Structure 1
Amino acid sequence: MTAFRIEGAEGRPLTARLDLPGTEPRAYALFVHCLPSGTGSAAEVVTRALTAAGVGVLRIACDRPGEFTTERGFGATVADLVAAARRLRRRYAAPTLLVGHSHGGTALLAAAHRLADVRAVVTIGAPSGPPHADLSDRIARLGAALLVLHSPVDAEVGIEHAREIFEAARHPRSFLALDGADHHLTGTADAAFAASMLTAWAVRYLPAPAAAEPEEGRVVVAESGAGPYGQHLTAGHHALTADEPPPAGAGSGPSPYDYLLAGLGACTSMTVRMYADRKGWPLDGVTVSLRHSRVHAADCADCETTSGRIDRIDRVIRIDGGDLDDEQRARLLEIADRCPVHRTLRSETVIHTEAAPPRA
């Protein structure tokens, strides 16, 4: 996440944040919302879903909702969003996706015709227009695919607004009901559903990800915007997430120590399987359960360290195979200690760190 300062159309500063995926973005989105912010909020969930799909997200919160009701205020808001999109274009690339919640969605509908690169627009619980203007002609000439998300029980912006937006638009257009959700998507499941649906719909209108072959053996980790510590991990063609559990983090993925244990467990199982297959032994399956803890060194009879605390990993290996004899089972347990990750953890490891140039 990067603070992104923008000078609005009338010279007033706009404070935004830019969330980037762990790899080169396939596209950029302008996300304007009237949602609560903070760990686990709907704004975070939507942003995280888009960045996981390779989309950079410039996020702007509606901090002047009263301006929506006046012609001058609404016009200034629209001009500010156009200025934000142009600033994003100069710094990175033009947004091809617009996502707007509530009044933010209405303002983006009014601004879209001034943003030539936009391919798709998503509204979430958006009014069909400000009190002083009819946007039906603007919506009809949107020139981009449209997805309307709205809850039938939205108590702040009635479902009739979704109908008016949808009927004014031309194809391609889609509507999806957020059944049971409130206006601000405060339900965790509601926010996750809206985020997953709009992302799945939007990516078909965005450029395909770069086809460059990832470097074998390199893992790239970058902040995901999911709470204070959420991370997006890329390993080859695989996209993963990491986080700290609540209350410190948002729990959006396994913790770093979970990944450490997973690496050791996977390596253990693979090593046992390879050995059994090479010997032709009747191994039906391997299950490895692991737990990490910190214990007093004085409680470890085989440790060189005698004071303070040390790291301990308890590993339980279940070897299934009714035709294996006791000697074969004992040998497979010995082989488990020879897995490469096990050896790395037990050996001297050098971690070399250097600074990369900052993003331009």
Structure 2
Amino acid sequence: MTALKVQFKNKEGLQLAARLEKPANNTPKAYAIFAHCFTCSKNLTAIANISRALTQVGYAVLRFDFAGLGESEGDFADTNFTSNVSDLEAAADYLTKEYEAPKLLIGHSLGGTAVLVASLNIKSAEAVVTIGSPAEPQHVTHLLTTDIDEIEKEGKAEVNIGGRSFMIKKQFLDDLEQVHKHHRIEEIKRPLLILHSPIDNVVSIDNAADIYKQAFHPKSFVSLDQADHLLSNKEDSMYVGNIIASWVSRYIKTQDVTPLKTDKHLVTRTKDSFTTEIMTEQHSLIADEPQDAGGTDLGPSPYELLAASLGACTGMTLRMYADHKKWPLQEVRVHLKHEKIHAEDCKECEEDAKKIDHIERIIEIEGDLDQKQKERLLEIANKCPVHKTLNSPTKIITELREA
């Protein structure tokens, strides 16, 4: 995905720091806003994984730091829940002015509650998603039980939430009370996806039940099983991202996919890690390296993709040939292994080359085929186009181009 550092001002004139992440072809089919949790920032790994899942299916995602948090201007002590909602609306205004009005709103924890409230004023939003979110803004007071008396008495208190210290003023509590009086989930009337973990010890699962009960259909609930509140495990945040990406395709009207903007056949993009996006004219996937090689294991390695290309081409070639001959071939399974082997017996190798590439391919076929047909299929497998490419001299012409 393409990640741009952007800034926009909220209604108080404070500069809010944000990241706008686009799909690899730089042509989003729709825009989304992600509101993070109360004690998080836009740079939380879980948020990055969820955003990546959405950019993979063509969405652009704007995630930002609320006023007083992360890299945004302001003093958190002077903010409240209403100002967070206002920041969301400012984010929507920014997208509308500079790019395109957002169609999807996603919120994590109290950010999800803010999204529920803000969606009433962000008319362009066609779908809403909450992740581990309280049903009511007042839920945050449950995290301040030992500090509320001091806040009421002194007008403010330094509290610890999620391992971070914050100055909370009485105006924050007063604002929650006012929002509570006017908060009506049933007024949203947009497709709603609720994701929540049954073992969430920060925001209990009962909140998801309350949101679901109040909301109108279409509404969906997905249990996050053993996930913690911050989605600390990579697998959990990736699962959430994939669920949202799949769910939203049913409810949001998007533009037709713009053809890939390249004079070649595909584009890859690698940024600050081994994780690499691959986009062809109509499809996208991720390549990566395993963790023991310094990667994050979000996708197959380049050599795995190379071997997979041979396997896929082999299967397709045999399928095509058997269909042409009207042979009863039911299924083809191709097992592959790529490795480097010592090349002492390789007379054609360069003098400084010590190893050559070796791909082992085992083909399993199912179907009522006689021995001659099986032997013919083995011959045809060696004629698949990718096989021929790998066995032929390949010239790679490389040039450097300014972005």
Q: Could you state the TM-score of these two structures normalised by the residue count of structure 1?
A: 0.77
Deviation at 1:126, TM superposition (A): 1.8
Task: State the AA in 2 paired with 1:344.
Answer: T
- Larger RCO, structures 1/2 (Cα 8 Å, 6+ apart): 1
Task: State the AA in 1 paired with 2:349.
Answer: E
RMSD: 4.0
| SS of 2:291 mapped into structure 1 | coil
1:16 maps to 18
Deviation at 1:61, TM superposition (A): 5.1
Matches within 5 A, 1:232-251: 232-247=277-292, 248-251=294-297
Q: Aligned pair in 2 of structure 1 residues 301, 38: CA closer, same or farther (>3 Å)? A: farther
Deviation at 1:96, TM superposition (A): 0.9
| SS of 2:116 mapped into structure 1 | helix
2:253 maps to 207
Contact 1:42 1:188 in 2 (8 A): yes
Contact 1:51 1:224 in 2 (8 A): no
| CA distance in structure 1 between the aligned counterparts of 2:131 and 2:305, rounded to whole angstroms | 35
2:130 maps to 123
Q: Could you state the TM-score of these two structures normalised by the residue count of structure 2?
A: 0.70
Contact 2:36 2:42 in 1 (8 A): no
Unaligned runs of 5+ in 1: none
Contact 1:296 1:307 in 2 (8 A): no
Matches within 5 A, 1:63-82: 64=69, 72-82=79-89
Contact 2:69 2:76 in 1 (8 A): no
Which of 251, 256, 275 in structure 2 is aligned with 1:230? Answer: 275
| CA distance in structure 2 between the aligned counterparts of 1:200 and 1:242, rounded to whole angstroms | 20
| CA distance in structure 2 between the aligned counterparts of 1:68 and 1:109, rounded to whole angstroms | 24
Q: Deviations over 1:240-290 (max 9, x none)?
A: 332222242222221221121122233344456666777888978765433
Q: Aligned pair in 2 of structure 1 residues 76, 220: CA closer, same or farther (>3 Å)? A: farther
| CA distance in structure 2 between the aligned counterparts of 1:280 and 1:154, rounded to whole angstroms | 57
2:28 maps to 25
Q: Deviations over 1:292-349 (max 9, x none)?
A: 333455x2424231223444122334475873259x83x7656544433233332232
Contact 1:20 1:51 in 2 (8 A): yes
| CA distance in structure 2 between the aligned counterparts of 1:156 and 1:245, rounded to whole angstroms | 32
| CA distance in structure 1 between the aligned counterparts of 2:120 and 2:332, rounded to whole angstroms | 59
| CA distance in structure 2 between the aligned counterparts of 1:308 and 1:110, rounded to whole angstroms | 64
Greater mean deviation of Cα atoms: 96-105 or 41-50:
41-50
2:385 maps to 340
Which of 64, 76, 98 in structure 2 is aligned with 1:91? Answer: 98
Identity of aligned residues (%): 37
Matches within 5 A, 1:155-166: 155-166=201-212
2:161 maps to none
1:324 maps to 371
Contact 2:341 2:358 in 1 (8 A): no
Matches within 5 A, 1:349-360: 349-351=395-397, 353=399, 355=401
Contact 2:81 2:137 in 1 (8 A): no
1:301 maps to 346
Deviation at 1:33, TM superposition (A): 1.6
| CA distance in structure 2 between the aligned counterparts of 1:268 and 1:117, rounded to whole angstroms | 47
Greater mean deviation of Cα atoms: 173-182 or 109-118:
173-182
| CA distance in structure 2 between the aligned counterparts of 1:245 and 1:75, rounded to whole angstroms | 44
Q: Are 1:51 and 2:40 counterparts?
A: no
